[in-house]
Structure 1
Amino acid sequence: MRIIVSRLIQHSSSPFSRLHNVGLLRNVRLLSTDSNKVDEPFKVEEAETVQVPPPPSEKLLVLGGNGFVGSHVCREALSHGLSVCSLSRSGRSSIKEPWADKVVWHQGSLLVPDSLKDALNDVTAVVSCVGGFGSNSHMYKINGTANINAIRAAADQGVKRFVYISAADFGVANYLLQGYYEGKKAAEAELLSKFTYGGVILRPGFIHGTRQVGSMKIPLGIIGSPLEMVLQHAKPLNRLPLIGALFTPPVSASAVAKVAVRAATDPVFPPGIVDVYGILRYSDQK
């Protein structure tokens, strides 16, 4: 290319042509300098690899996980890929089903606060299914004191959400189980105090489903399921004086478990009290 330009310069006689040729020669030099790099391999620098930390795994502690409702909660949580552990007086569940082998079982009593120390390690949410019947003093201790201890221990540990399975108000019937309902109310008050933004109280009525008793399975759904179908559409009857609460519709254990797990893991689930109709509504949502 330089030879061609030099010949052009030789055949140009005017000063203007000479100036033009000088500028052209400079441009050619620049072009020729760049053209020498055409055959060089094109280098591409690799971007730096950024190590993105995995999303935090959620660990759910189910109190009373080997009971009727608690076992349904464990199974529901596992179906969502959650890490599940459970604390109960008997420790490992006697249920011979594959899901039970995926739960980390802790043995302890909520009446002994130290029992919760190991069970609460790395826990992000708690679902308490603890409750019981007996004398008034015993019912208050199991339904009230035990759950209050758990709520305080979870709050001290920095747990974000706590779901408590309470019970619907049956009006006159409450006086027959005074210790039971007084204990429930005390636990509810403690939860709303300690977990203002992450506490959820579920108030189901009669809970039906297949209950495991030893080697026997009792199909409570035979009675509860038809009643649920009828009474969930008879909400006005619930407002009748004295006997209205007796028309509270039953709800399945699987529905309670579904809502409990969602309330424990969904950060936008509203805190506060969810009654039977709310449980039925949330359990129907996908």
Structure 2
Amino acid sequence: MRTVVSRLIHSRSSLPRLFIMDAPRNGRYLSTDSSKVDEPFKVEEAETVNIPPPPTEKLLVLGGNGFVGSHVCREALDRGLSVASLSRSGRSSLHDPWANNVTWHKGNLLSPESLKDALDGVTSVISCVGGFGSNSYMYKINGTANLNAIRAASEQGVKRFVYVSAADFGVVNYLLRGYYEGKRAAETELLTKFPYGGVILRPGFIYGTRSVGSVKLPLGVIGSPLEMLFQHTRPLNQLPLVGPLFTPPVNATAVANVAVRAATDPVFPPGIVDVYGIQRYNQKSK
């Protein structure tokens, strides 16, 4: 019996050392001796890293105190965007509460240097700049002014640029030659400078409540019925010369909705959106 016990003791003492290992400094001690109490893990707290919040989209609306521009500013504010506007008169004459939440800049797009401060920190631009007058004046306001804005925004690294242009009205184009030549020149420049982030909206007649001084003109009284009527006469839009005259009007709110979406949604496809496209995108966002 003594011989058996002696052999057992001798065999235990000669176990390979791989069963008895030195533990890491901060780890557990592995042992075959069940009488030994293992030390607990020592867990060190990870260093806290402060991650800044995502940057806020900043939108610059050119002509933000005008009829369409004011709708764009309100739509952008409703979406929680930081909104700035640049126009020749600066701050809007409207006394609506939303106007207090816009950063107003006074400047002239025919003088590109006036854009520098307004473009600071801007991620997207919507231009609602346009006007009527002599052919030379219309080309400058609709064409040259927007060309300057597009080039300045491109140089500043702005991601997306939306231009509110105008639908093709056939014979009317000739009567307002400077207007349409200016618009098309700006469109060509936009597609060149912003091939992946440039969107051109081509609405026809834009209706809504337009403020002229202290007077509010309810253009929707005419525009809304015409929009419904022209939805049923769409085939007439393809007639030579006079066909474009059947282009349906569109609500200013719909134009603003699609413009802001196009300026802030990175998957919104670049290119030209006609009045039917504006109506379609507006319906999808509701």
TM over 0.5: yes
Normalized against structure 2, the TM-score is what? 0.88
How far residue 161 of structure 1 moved from its aligned partner, in angstroms, is 1.1
Name structure 1 gaps, 5 residues minimum.
1-10
Residue 81 in 1 paired to residue 85 in 2?
no
Higher-Rg structure is 1
Q: What CA distance in whole angstroms lies between the structure 1 residues aligned with 2:85 and 2:203? A: 22
| 1:87-127 per-position Cα deviation (integer Å, ceiling 9, x unaligned) | 00110111111111110000011111111010011111110
How far residue 182 of structure 1 moved from its aligned partner, in angstroms, is 1.1
| 1:14-72 per-position Cα deviation (integer Å, ceiling 9, x unaligned) | 24443366579x9999455874346x6x6432222222232122111100000000001
Q: What CA distance in whole angstroms lies between the structure 2 residues aligned with 1:103 and 1:35? A: 72
> Structure 2 counterpart of 1:53, which letter?
P
Q: What CA distance in whole angstroms lies between the structure 1 residues aligned with 2:258 and 2:167? A: 16
**Structure 2 match to 1:143:** 142
| 1:141-197 per-position Cα deviation (integer Å, ceiling 9, x unaligned) | 111111111111111111111111000000011122111111111111111121111
**Structure 2 match to 1:36:** 37
> Structure 2 counterpart of 1:133, which letter?
F
Secondary structure of the structure 1 residue equivalent to 2:176: helix
- Equivalent runs, 1:67-146 vs 2, <5 Å: 67-146=66-145
RMSD: 2.2
**Structure 1 match to 2:184:** 185
Q: What CA distance in whole angstroms lies between the structure 1 residues aligned with 2:92 and 2:260? A: 19
Secondary structure of the structure 2 residue equivalent to 1:118: coil
Q: Percent identity?
A: 72
| 1:200-221 per-position Cα deviation (integer Å, ceiling 9, x unaligned) | 1100000011111222221111
Change (3 A) 1:86 1:12: farther
> Structure 1 counterpart of 2:199, which letter?
V
Normalized against structure 1, the TM-score is what? 0.88
Moved over 3 A (4+): 15-24, 26-38
Secondary structure of the structure 2 residue equivalent to 1:56: coil
**Structure 2 match to 1:165:** 164
Checking the alignment, whether the CA contact within 8 Å between 1:62 and 1:84 is kept in structure 2 is: yes
> Structure 2 counterpart of 1:265, which letter?
T
Q: What CA distance in whole angstroms lies between the structure 2 residues aligned with 1:62 and 1:204? A: 18
How many residues are aligned here? 273
Q: What CA distance in whole angstroms lies between the structure 2 residues aligned with 1:148 and 1:197? A: 17
Name structure 2 gaps, 5 residues minimum.
21-29
Compare the two structures and name the one with the higher helix fraction. Answer: 1
